[in-house]
Amino acid sequence: MLMCDVAVIGIGGVGSAAAAYLAQAGADVIGLDRYSPPHARGSSHGQTRVIRMAYFEHPDYVPLLRRAYRGWHDLERATGRQLYFPTGVLQIGPESGEVIAGTLRSAQQHRLAIQQFRYEDIASEFPGVVPPADCVGILEHDAGYLLVAECINAYLDQAKQHGATIKTDSPVQSWSRTGEAFELRTDSEVIHAKQLVLCGGAWAKQLLADLNVPMTILRKHLYWYENDAPAYTPASSFPVFLIVTPQGIYYGFPQLDSQGVKLARHDGGEPIASADQQNQREDAADRRAVETFTSSHLPLLSHNLVHHEACMYTVTPDQHFLVGTHPEHEGLHFAAGLSGHGFKFASALGEILCDLATTGRTSAPIEFLSPRRFS
C-alpha cells in the first residue's frame, strides 16, 4: 500500500497543474491517470486552446483569468518554453447576442482593452473573412492561444522535478473515505492519501456522482484543413476567431504548421453516456456543417481535410464550472464540468486546488462556481 499527502486523479490540463503546484508547495504527491497524458482520449488535446480575458460567459471569470495569465507566464519562465501566443482573438456576432454583449459587459466592468468593428469594416480589416449579416466584431489584442500538449508536459515536468510521483495507465476504479484518509484502488494497488484532488474531466461524471449535479458528456470534433491562402496565417496577423452564425457557433486558429487551419463547432455536439464511449470516428454531418460555414465565411479556405480528432465537453446545466471542496467529504477538492471552456483556466485552477488541499481555503473568487448553486 502506498501513502501520500495528496493524490490527484486525472493529470491532464488542470490535474497536471495541480500536481505541479502541490509538489512545489512541498506536498508528497501522487498523480494518477487512466492513460498517459498528454493523450487524445479526453478533453485536453488537439494542438491549441483559446485564451481570452474579456469573457462573454460571465464577468466573474475575469479575476480567475488574471490569475491564469500570471500562471501561464510563470510556467513559461520556469521552463523556458513559449506556451502562450498573443495572436489576438476576433469575435463576430449580433450586437445584442450573448457573445458580443457579454464580451462588452466583461470589458467594461473590468476595464479591459478591446477594439470594436462595424460590419462593413470586418472584411476590409480581416481579408478572407465574410461576416454573417448584421454582425459586428470585437478584437481582443492580448488574447490568443495556448499549446495544449506542451502545457501539460511542462506542468508534469515541474511536478516530477519537485518530487511528485506520476502514475500513468493507472485508472482509479474507486475511492472511499477510510478514517482520516482516502483510499484509492487501481487495477494493481491501493493508495492512501490525506487529501484527494479530482480532475477527472469527462470521468468526473462518475467520480463525483454524489455531488448530484447532472453533467452531460458531449463528443466534439476538431478539423484541420489544407490552406494556401496567406490571409489565414500569422504572417498576415490573422487572429484566433469565434463567429456566431444562425446555424451555429464556430471557432478556429490561424495556420500554425503543415496541418493547416484548425476549425471546430463550439455549440452542438453528440451526447454520450460515459467517457468510455469516446472514440475518434468522424461525424459526416458535423463535417458538412463546418465546411458549409467555411464556404460562407472563410471562402478562401480549402475543403481538403488534413486531420481530424474528437474530444469531449463535460457540461453542467448552466455551462459554468464546478470548483471547490466536496460538501460531504472534507479533504476532497475538485474541478469538474468545465463545459468546453476550461483549459485556459488550468493554471489558475491548479493553484486554487493546491490552496484548498494545503490550507483548506483559497483567496480566489470561486463562490459562483460552487455546486451549492444547484441545491
- What are the pLDDT digits (tens) for 102-154? 999 999 999 999 999 999 999 999 999 999 999 999 999 999 999 999 999 99
Is residue 199 among the annotated active site residues? no
Give me the tens of pLDDT residue by residue for the chain, a chain 375 residues long. Answer: 899 999 999 999 999 999 999 999 999 999 999 999 999 999 999 999 999 999 999 999 999 999 999 999 999 999 999 999 999 999 999 999 999 999 999 999 999 999 999 999 999 999 999 999 999 999 999 999 999 999 999 999 999 999 999 999 999 999 999 888 999 999 999 999 999 999 999 999 999 999 999 999 999 999 999 999 999 999 999 999 999 999 999 999 999 999 999 999 999 999 999 999 999 999 999 999 999 999 999 999 999 999 999 999 999 999 999 999 999 999 999 999 999 999 999 999 999 999 999 999 999 999 999 999 998
Is residue 49 among the annotated active site residues? yes
Is residue 168 among the annotated active site residues? no
- What are the pLDDT digits (tens) for 209-236? 999 999 999 999 999 999 999 999 999 9
Is residue 205 among the annotated active site residues? no
Query: What is the SS3 assignment for 315?
Result: strand
User: What's the rounded Cα separation, in Å, for the pair 253 and 222?
Assistant: 11
User: What's the rounded Cα separation, in Å, for the pair 287 and 292?
Assistant: 9
Residue among 48, 103, 245, 314 flagged as catalytic: 48
Residue among 4, 199, 311, 354 flagged as catalytic: 311
What lies within 8 Å, CB to CB, of 94 at 6+ separation is: 100, 134, 135, 136, 244
CA 374 to chain centre: 22
Phi, psi angles (nearest 5°) of residue 30: -120, 120
Tally of CB atoms within 10 A around 354: 26
Handedness of CA 256, 150, 350, 334 (dihedral sign): positive
Query: What is the SS3 assignment for 12?
Result: coil
* Residues 223 and 308: beta-carbon distance below 8 Å: yes
CB-hemisphere CA count at 13 Å for 239? 24
| 10's grid cell | 486525472
Is residue 77 among the annotated active site residues? no
Of the candidates 348, 43, 352, the residue with the CA atom closest to the CA atom of residue 200: 43
User: What's the rounded Cα separation, in Å, for the pair 70 and 145?
Assistant: 15
Domains of the chain (ranges, CATH numbers): 2-46+149-215+318-374 (3.50.50.60), 89-141+216-315 (3.30.9.10)
Residue among 52, 266, 297, 320 flagged as catalytic: 266
Residue among 34, 45, 220, 265 flagged as catalytic: 45
Residue among 41, 220, 262, 297 flagged as catalytic: 262
Is residue 178 among the annotated active site residues? no
The model's pTM is: 0.97
User: What's the rounded Cα separation, in Å, for the pair 185 and 286?
Assistant: 39
Tally of CB atoms within 10 A around 302: 16
| 235's grid cell | 504572417
Per-residue pLDDT, 199: 98
Is residue 45 among the annotated active site residues? yes
